Amino acid sequence: MGRNPVTWLGSPTFPDAARRALGDTQLRGNLRKATTTIRGKRESVVAELDDWEELRRAGESIKDEVLADLDTQLERLEVAVTERGGVVHWARDADEANRIVLDLVQEEDTDEVVKVKSMATAEIGLNEALADGGVNAIETDLAEVIVQLGDDRPSHILVPAIHRNRAEIKEIFAQMPEPPASDDPRVLAEAARKYLRRKFLSAKVAISGANFGVADTGSIVVVESEGNGRMCLTLPETLITVMGVEKVLPRWQDLEVFLQLLPRSSTAERMNPYTSIWSGVTPGDGPQKFHLVLLDNGRTSTLADEVGRQALRCIRCSACLNVCPVYERTGGQAYGSVYPGPIGAILAPQLAGDLHDEQTASLPYASSLCGACYEVCPVRINIPEVLTHLRAEVVEAKGKRTPEAMAMSAAAWVFGDRKRYEAAQKAGSLTRFLARGGTLSSLPWPGSKWTDTRDAPVVPKESFRSWWRRNRG
């Protein structure tokens, strides 16, 4: 089993990557504008529904029902898809999934495929694996086109090119056969349209992800805004769908809940423009060969963690990214994973399953625990709870000999006894002699991490407890 590509090999730790990103004023401007806009829109469309909290609870409970019974639900899905003419494949990890997809593409004797925007295929690095096998995978979602042609990495789940502005996009599109004449959004979209139409009409194979897979009808659901996904899902002869195992829903009627939760949370729309649903193969209509690849890639080990498993409820809406004050400043690439932001900080480390890796271990700390993510999550994932839970696992993995662990042990020893605590207070108050003109603006490391940008409080000679003892004791 190879390395799980859910985190990008060679990425710096979050603090290092964030430092670099924070220096990019263009990036910060682009992000602030984009996230502020989408935040406001989401808030107003969510406020339209009186039963939003009930919907969230329904979403949470359906997902928990699935997770409690995942093996049975997946077998039901397999039976239903097979009965309707589809072929189901099971992939333990990224390597296995990539091999299955490459073999299926090669069977169709083609060296180019079109792709519907899909997080699962990005997670497993499918495009790179196909390229290694001589197959060119063409992204067709507009933002994915920008990322792919820019030889870039995604920075957002829903809007992977959120870090780019239109001037940058015009530059990137210059390599198209018919490049855009200006950076007017309509001109840019038209250039992409011409580039993509040719691909849709010639492709024999399409590859997609899935938003939902309905176990009782064997139906796969993809929701999107552009219609480019619909082209891929209907025009080619062969369709291959890679779906994370947690995307299964027990019943057709469950879609009622999720088709309300997802568009309002992600694009801030009441209803997404395109909802494609297919069940196996329909003779004479659409793809005549359908393959469903069910992907584990760290999901069952995540499921084994009682606290961490709630991350598997995620429906990839990205509401948590849009409200996250950390994401807004650093952007998505700083997380070093196809899953950025608060959900990425809990999902990527769990899927990767290796907290000994410095980069992965830095992700659960990429949060001030402000809780804005939990507040907006349509399936009520308590992200702060999982973050602190994963931090404890990181601490466990690092062992007791790190400077931090030793400092924390010492602090716990001090807090464990009133006399030691009072002695430490007295020692702390000595820092007042470092103050100049009533401010304490320079402390030795690690206090310098604070005083580099902020003054520290001048600890007074008399603590409150000393005052209390003197006056009330």
Partner 1 sequence: MQNGDGASGPPSTEDAGGRRTSGPRVALFPTCLTDTAFPETAKAMVRLLERLGCDVDFPLDQTCCGQMHFNTGYAEHARPMARAYAEVFDGYDHVVVPSGSCAGMVREIHPDLCGTSPAARRTYELSEFLVDVLGVVDVGAHFPHRVTYHPTCHSLRMLGVGDKPLSLLRAVSGLELIPLPQAEQCCGFGGTFALKNAETSTAMLADKMRCVQDTGAQVVTAGDNSCLMQIGGGLSRLRTGVRPVHLAEILASTEEEPWVATP
> What residues make contact with partner 1 under the rule CB under 8 A?
14-15, 18-19, 22, 28, 325-326, 329-330, 364-372, 374-375, 388, 391-395, 404-405, 408-409, 411-412, 414-418, 421, 425, 428-429, 438-439, 441, 446, 449-450, 452-457, 459-460, 462-465, 467-469, 472
Q: What is the rounded radius of gyration, in angstroms, for the C-alpha atoms of the chain?
A: 25
Closest CA to 243 of 349, 89, 134: 89
Produce one character per residue of 269-291: b if its CB has 16 or more CB atoms within 10 Å, e if not: beebeebbbbbbbeeeebbebbb
Q: Which CB, 189 or 394, lies closer to partner 1?
A: 394
At closest approach, how far in Å is the CB of 275 from partner 1? 33
Only one residue has tokens 């073999």, namely: 103
At closest approach, how far in Å is the CB of 35 from partner 1? 11
Q: Which CB, 2 or 460, lies closer to partner 1?
A: 460
At closest approach, how far in Å is the CB of 204 from partner 1? 46
Q: How far is CA 89 from the centre of its chain?
A: 25
At closest approach, how far in Å is the CB of 351 from partner 1? 20
At closest approach, how far in Å is the CB of 344 from partner 1? 15
* Total Cβ atoms within 10 A of residue 56: 19
Provide the 3-class DSSP secondary structure of residue 413.
Answer: helix
Q: Which CB, 80 or 383, lies closer to partner 1?
A: 383
Q: Which CB, 197 or 426, lies closer to partner 1?
A: 426
Q: Which CB, 68 or 411, lies closer to partner 1?
A: 411
At closest approach, how far in Å is the CB of 460 from partner 1? 6
Produce one character per residue of 367-383: b if its CB has 16 or more CB atoms within 10 Å, e if not: beeeebbbebbbbbbbb
Only one residue has tokens 């002695």, namely: 423
Q: Which CB, 14 or 195, lies closer to partner 1?
A: 14
- Is residue 49 left, alpha or beta, with left meaning phi > 0 and alpha meaning psi from -120 to 50? beta
Distance CA 97, CA 130 (A): 11
At closest approach, how far in Å is the CB of 25 from partner 1? 11
Q: Which CB, 253 or 439, lies closer to partner 1?
A: 439
